[in-house]
């Protein structure tokens, strides 16, 4: 069973179904989870992926055979599981999802009471050891029960508590739920507000027929961009498959960098909450730190990844957190991320502002950006990245924080070896298009010289 180690990632469990992750593996995880955390009740939700129900059956079989009850939440979004774990006394919660990955993937996000994540250095490695080594012949003398719980309306009411419905304008916007879990809640949620909206890819479909459920991929942006332009909408959003992250688009159908969205939300939250910590990942624009300081907040940078973000949020009792990929974290949401809360926050913010989102974007961050370029890792990628660092050493400020940060005259480059895939990720920000194009070409030439291949 040593092959199982490949599915235990830094932040969660994830693999291809059924070759890497299947019902037998799910059963072992269920048995091991009860033993690791001494659970009496485990809440389990799942996304719409074609393998999620089968994995639910395997996981819950292992749980109840260990004498633990299963609280069956059915089809939900990941942020709904965080809500349940923050508001209940259940020992553990499991979300069956592979988030934004292609349809053949699935996985488990595991949460302890209070919304505290299980990750590599906080229990996930111990769970892996149990899955690999525990004696499955040791079963409980009594079986647990499966108890169904419908939280839909309760969760919608909770989401609405993040905003003041008074003063919401009749904005007209578009939503692409990517055939994922936001489609379960979004219409009923927004019908509580005096807004107009168009929804595409709303039906739940685990084959994701229209585009990958990745809100951060350019291939997922075309449909919402066309909808915005055709319907003359005020803005638009794309959710990922499990609805914990979200991307925004202005009235021209153009992508809005997460730094801009974060600054808008921070400006709104810090008005009456000065001296509060704000957690940001290392890729977001340096302009965001300046803005936080102007508002008398405390900017704290952390590593990319939801386990690092949530841990830092909790350690610093942070008011808010943001990642460049479209994850937004809220103290009130048990220091966890939510795409739907972020949409509601932006509806409230834009209702108070008469300027279009494209103009707000230019005022907040006039820089131009390339959000992400992916190269495939090579065996000797560390040595090659050192050579790239040496290339910039004499003319730029070099910083090592969650990768390599290169700051020069009018530009900033972030190079980050991904934790969860075979990629080298590059983010580039510049003062104008001329510098952006020049540095992009320079980077392309450097990476080609060292035999890195662009990822498809």
Identify whether the C-beta of residue 134 lies closer than 8 Å to the C-beta of residue 117.
Answer: no
Task: Give residue 79's pLDDT band: very low, low, confident or very high (50, 70, 90).
Answer: very high
Question: How far apart are the C-alpha atoms of 59 and 26, rounded to whole Å?
Answer: 5
pLDDT of residue 2: 58
pLDDT of residue 177: 98
Identify whether the C-beta of residue 423 lies closer than 8 Å to the C-beta of residue 217.
Answer: no
Question: What is the widest separation between alpha-carbon atoms in the chain?
Answer: 71
pLDDT of residue 83: 98
pLDDT of residue 418: 85
Active site residue 99: yes
CA dihedral for 121, 122, 126, 127, sign (positive or negative)? negative
Please name which of 87, 118, 162 lies closest in space to residue 9, comparing C-alpha atoms: 118
pLDDT of residue 393: 95
In the predicted model, what is the mean pLDDT of the chain? 95
pLDDT of residue 274: 83
Question: How far apart are the C-alpha atoms of 307 and 324, rounded to whole Å?
Answer: 15
- Model confidence over 260-295: pLDDT tens digits? 999 999 999 998 888 999 999 999 999 999 999 999
Percent of the chain with pLDDT over 90: 91
pLDDT of residue 1: 58
Task: Give residue 139's pLDDT band: very low, low, confident or very high (50, 70, 90).
Answer: confident
b/e map of 187-223 (b: 16 or more CB within 10 Å)?
Answer: eebbeebebebbbbbbebbbebebbbbbbbeeebbeb
- Model confidence over 186-227: pLDDT tens digits? 999 999 999 999 999 999 999 999 999 999 999 999 999 999
Percent of the chain with pLDDT over 70: 99
Distances (CA, A) of 357 to 111, 236, 353, 371, 398: 35, 10, 9, 18, 34
- Model confidence over 162-175: pLDDT tens digits? 999 998 999 999 99
CA dihedral for 361, 365, 369, 372, sign (positive or negative)? negative
pLDDT of residue 3: 64
Exposed/middle/buried for residue 355 (C-beta within 10 Å: 0-12, 13-18, 19+): exposed
Whether cis (ω within 30° of 0) applies to the bond prior to 28 is no
Q: Residue 244: is its pLDDT beyond 80? A: yes
pLDDT of residue 281: 96
Task: Give residue 300's pLDDT band: very low, low, confident or very high (50, 70, 90).
Answer: very high
- Model confidence over 14-49: pLDDT tens digits? 999 999 999 999 999 999 999 999 999 999 999 999
Question: How far apart are the C-alpha atoms of 26 and 106, rounded to whole Å?
Answer: 11
Q: Residue 456: is its pLDDT beyond 80? A: no
pLDDT of residue 439: 97
Q: Residue 236: is its pLDDT beyond 70? A: yes
Written as six digits, the tokens of 61 are 């079989």
Catalytic residue among 77, 99, 220, 371: 99
Q: Residue 386: is its pLDDT beyond 80? A: yes
pLDDT of residue 137: 84
Which of the residue ranges 39-53, 243-257, 358-372 would you say has the lowest mean pLDDT? 358-372
- Model confidence over 83-112: pLDDT tens digits? 999 999 999 999 999 999 999 999 999 999
Identify whether the C-beta of residue 72 lies closer than 8 Å to the C-beta of residue 99.
Answer: no
């Amino acid at each position: 069973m040593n092959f199982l180690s490949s599915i235990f990632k830094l932040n969660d469990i994830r693999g291809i179904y059924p070759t890497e992750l299947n019902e037998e593996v799910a059963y072992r995880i269920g048995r091991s989870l009860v033993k690791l955390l001494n659970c009496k009740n485990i809440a389990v939700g799942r996304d719409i992926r074609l393998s999620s129900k089968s994995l639910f059956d395997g996981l819950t079989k292992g749980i109840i055979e260990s004498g633990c009850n299963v609280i069956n939440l059915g089809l939900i979004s990941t942020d709904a599981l965080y809500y349940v774990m923050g508001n209940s006394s259940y020992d553990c919660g499991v979300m069956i999802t592979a988030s934004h990955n292609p349809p053949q993937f699935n996985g488990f996000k595991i949460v302890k009471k209070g919304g505290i994540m299980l990750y590599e250095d906080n229990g996930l490695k111990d769970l892996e050891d149990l899955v690999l080594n525990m004696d499955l012949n040791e079963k409980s003398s009594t079986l647990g029960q499966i108890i169904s719980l419908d939280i839909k309306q309760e969760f919608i009411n909770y989401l609405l508590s993040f905003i003041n419905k008074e003063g919401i304008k009749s904005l007209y916007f578009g939503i692409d739920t990517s055939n994922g879990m936001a489609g379960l809640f979004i219409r009923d949620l927004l019908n509580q507000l005096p807004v107009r909206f168009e929804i595409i890819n709303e039906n739940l479909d685990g084959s994701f027929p229209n585009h990958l459920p990745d809100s951060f991929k350019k291939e997922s942006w075309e449909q919402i961009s066309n909808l915005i332009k055709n319907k003359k909408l005020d803005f638009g959003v794309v959710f990922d498959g499990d609805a914990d992250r979200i991307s925004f688009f202005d009235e021209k159908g153009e992508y809005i960098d997460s730094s801009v969205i974060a600054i808008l939300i921070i400006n709104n939250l810090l008005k009456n909450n000065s001296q509060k910590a704000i957690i940001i990942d290392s890729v977001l624009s340096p302009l965001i730190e300046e803005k936080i300081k102007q508002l008398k907040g405390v900017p704290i940078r952390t590593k990319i990844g939801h386990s690092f973000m949530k841990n830092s949020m909790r350690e610093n009792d942070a008011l808010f957190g943001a990642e460049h990929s479209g994850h937004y974290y809220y103290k009130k949401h048990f220091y966890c991320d939510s795409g739907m809360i972020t949409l509601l926050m932006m509806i409230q913010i834009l209702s108070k502002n008469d300027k279009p989102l494209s103009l707000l974007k230019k005022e907040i961050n006039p820089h131009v950006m390339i959000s992400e370029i992916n190269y495939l890792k090579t065996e000797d990628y560390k040595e090659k990245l050192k050579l790239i660092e040496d290339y910039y050493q004499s003319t730029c400020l070099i910083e090592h924080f969650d990768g390599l940060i290169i700051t020069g005259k009018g530009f900033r480059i972030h190079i980050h070896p991904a934790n969860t895939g075979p990629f080298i990720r590059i983010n580039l920000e510049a003062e104008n298009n001329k510098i952006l194009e020049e540095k992009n070409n320079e980077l392309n030439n450097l990476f080609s010289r060292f035999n890195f291949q662009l990822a498809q």
